[in-house]
Amino acid sequence: MFEKILIANRGEIALRIHRACKEMGIRTVAVHSTADQDAMHVRLADESVCIGPPASSESYLNITAILSAATITGVDAIHPGIGFLSENAKFAEMVEEHGFVFIGPTPEHISMMGDKITARNEAMKLGIPCVPGSDGAVDNDVEAIDLAADIGYPVIIKATAGGGGKGMQVAHSAEEMAGKLSLCRSEAKAAFGNDAVYIEKYLGQPRHIEVQVLGDGQGNVVHLGERDCSLQRRHQKVLEEAPSPALNAEARARIGKTVTDALSKIKYRSAGTIEFLYENGEFYFIEMNTRLQVEHPISEMVCDIDLVREQLRVATGAPLGYGQDAIRMNGHSIECRINAEHPKTFIPSPGRITDYHAPGGLGVRVDSAIYSGYAVPPYYDSLIAKLIVHGSTRNECLMRLRRALEEFVVGGVNTTIPLHQKLISEPDFLNGDYDIHWLEKWMGEE
Ligand code: ADP
């Protein structure tokens, strides 16, 4: 096993990785920007290195500074966390060229799934069902309009380099196409420096269902069941649950097998997630994330597996050592993403946290790096805590979530806790009766 690793991230996920390391006797090196010198991930790490000014482009995305920090501190491996460099194939390659182990998939698999068109084509080759759409990028408007007519309206225009819910436009008719195409292209160019777009059928009432996988790079791949992430605002997940209230055992086993068969063919290594839209009993691939995901804890709670521990183990070259039969799913888990944002307007609310009390008790987990007196910096993602609860049934989980949200105190900044409190009293949500558009309709945004 590794003796010391560098965690190339910040916030709750850096802490999450640190915790797994400590339990395995691995020492940790934190990296941080000048804005994060008092951050909890820095305080708890065995060593820390300042890698640059507040802007992520000069610190958490600064490959040279991160590799220098790894060299100076003499680590064995680097964990990229979530976001930042976690899906940057070039970074993964450079980490290995510098003699460190990259705790994640191979650079080839990261690139294969990084670009949406390549990912879609790979998925089809591997026998994973996709949303009907264009074979590749669509360069000219006439071609795009012809194609959309074949697919049938509405269609969704997507940036091939897109991510984080950005670079997507829905067109309902041929008249709307030219305008939406140029809007999507210019958004994509501005956000990702690449204006290539493609077209897919726009599904009207799907759920977002994703399957968590774990592979050892030697052909052994297991899945940890699915997560339902249909509660979204502007394509961003707000609350996730596992298992999905919409799947039965047959559908779960079917999609689980499709995914594990496909990924064992390519000998996938590390944790990954394949995202699907699910409508009328059919699954349609939308993308694969070749990294840990924000909502990974709900799968951990249901399967009683520490995904970061497993990532570390397989990164040393160890085989998984167990098969699908060993994965037992037990009970129900829900995660609420708590952001430092106004619960109605979603305007970010950085600033000093004056009071902090985290809920606890049986089946309650809080993944967070904040503390009383901590100042939430304005430079990064507004996620400040994840409240994860587990219960033996969905109902027990919901009751536990309600009481945990009541106990949660974060003073000094606005948070989305009141939104979650309101949400978990809604009959549709309680009945598990929601699709990807439900939340926005409920909030009056559609
Ligand atoms: P990103 O990489 O930006 O997260 P995804 O391709 O994963 O983009 O899509 C994000 C969300 O956009 C999905 O969860 C879903 O809500 C919506 N979406 C994507 N593709 C479609 C589609 N073909 N039809 C309807 N909604 C879609």
CATH number at residue 19: 3.40.50.20
Could you tell me if 257 and 399 lie in one domain? yes
Residues 154 and 289 in one domain: no
Domain count for the chain: 3
Task: Show the CA angle centred on residue 439, arms to residues 437 and 346, nearest 5°.
Answer: 120
Measure Cα distances from 369 to 36, 46, 351, 411, 442 in Å.
11, 16, 14, 15, 31
Indicate whether residue 286 lines ligand 1 (CB < 6 A).
yes
Q: Which of 62, 67, 4 is nearest to 33 (CA)?
A: 62
Q: Which atom of ligand 1 is nearest to the CA of 133?
A: 23
Looking at residue 308, its pLDDT comes to: 98
Q: Is the dihedral of CA 361, 229, 431, 344 positive or negative?
A: positive
- How many other CB atoms sit within 10 Å of the CB of residue 189? 15
**Residue 231 and residue 179 share a domain:** no
Each residue's pLDDT tens digit, 37-65: 999 999 999 999 999 999 999 999 999 99
Instruction: Write the Ramachandran bin of 25: left for phi over 0, alpha for psi from -120 to 50, otherwise beta.
Output: left
Query: In terms of domains, do 339 and 423 share one?
Result: yes
- Domain membership of residue 106 (yes or no) is no
Please report, rounded to a whole number, the percentage of residues in the chain having pLDDT higher than 70.
Answer: 100
Residue burial 344-379, b: 16+ Cβ < 10 Å; e: rest: eebebbbeebeebebbeeebbbbbbbbeeebebbeb
Closest CA to 351 of 340, 366, 365: 340
Give yes or no: residues 47 and 150 share one domain.
no
291 given a catalytic annotation: yes
User: Mutation test of ligand 1: which of 277, 279, 441 has the most ligand atoms closer than 8 Å to its C-beta?
Assistant: 277
In a domain, 114, yes or no: no
Give the C-alpha separation, 71 to 84, whole Å: 20
pLDDT score of 446 = 54
| Distance from C-alpha of 360 to C-alpha of 404, rounded to nearest angstrom | 7
309-342 pLDDT tens trace = 999 999 999 999 999 999 999 999 999 999 999 9
Give the model's pLDDT for residue 105.
Answer: 98
Q: Are residues 82 and 197 in the same domain?
A: no
Distance 158 CA to ligand 1 centre (A): 9
My answer on whether 211 and 340 are in the same domain is yes
| Residue 279, ligand 1, Cβ within 6 A | no
Cα(92)–Cα(100) distance, rounded to whole angstroms? 10
Q: Could you tell me if 178 and 221 lie in one domain?
A: no
Q: Tell me whether residue 22 is in a domain.
A: yes
Kindly state the average pLDDT of the residues 426-435.
98
More confident residue, 192 or 88: 88
Q: 263 is written with which tokens? A: 């990924």
- Using CA atoms, how far apart are residues 413 and 260, in angstroms rounded to an integer? 43
What pLDDT, in 10s, does the model give residues 349-377?
999 999 999 999 999 999 999 999 999 99
| pLDDT computed for residue 135 by the predictor | 87
CA angle, 423 then 424 then 430, to 5°: 115
Which of 168, 186, 201 represents a domain boundary (last residue)?
Answer: 201
The residue-averaged pLDDT of 273-290 equals: 97
| Confidence at residue 162, expressed as pLDDT on a 0 to 100 scale | 86
Residue 403 has pLDDT above 70, yes or no: yes
Q: Is the CB of 281 within 6 Å of ligand 1?
A: no
Write out the residue range of the structural domain in which residue 143 sits. Answer: 132-201
Q: 158 lies in a domain? A: yes
Peptide bond connecting 243 to the previous residue in cis, omega within 30 degrees of 0: yes
Section 109-137 average pLDDT: 94
CA atoms within 13 A on the CB side of 32: 22
**Helices in 45-173 by DSSP H: which ranges?**
63-73, 89-97, 107-114, 116-125, 141-151
Mean pLDDT of the chain: 96
Residue 294's identity, in one-letter code, is V
Which CATH number covers residue 166? Answer: 3.30.1490.20
Residue 255 shares a structural domain with residue 383: yes
Active-site annotation holder among 16, 227, 252, 291: 291
**Residue 406 pLDDT greater than 60, yes or no:** yes
On whether both 296 and 389 belong to a single domain, the answer is: yes
CA distances from 170 to 134, 226, 428 (A): 15, 27, 26
Cα gap 278→375, rounded to integer Å: 40
If asked whether residues 407 and 323 sit together in one domain, one would say yes
Q: Is the peptide bond before 154 cis (omega within 30 degrees of 0)?
A: yes
Quick check: CB of 96 below 6 Å from ligand 1? no
- Report the pLDDT averaged over residues 194-201: 94
Residue 164, pLDDT score? 77
Is there a contact between 312 and 1 (Cβ–Cβ < 8 Å)? yes
Q: Is the pTM of this model over 0.85?
A: yes
**Ligand 1 contacts CB of residue 202 (under 6 A):** yes
Q: Which residues of 291-300 are buried (b: 16+ CB within 10 A; e: fewer)?
A: bbbbbbbbbb
| Domain identity same for 24 and 146 | no
What is the spatial distance between Cα 111 and Cα 215, in angstroms, rounded to a whole number?
17
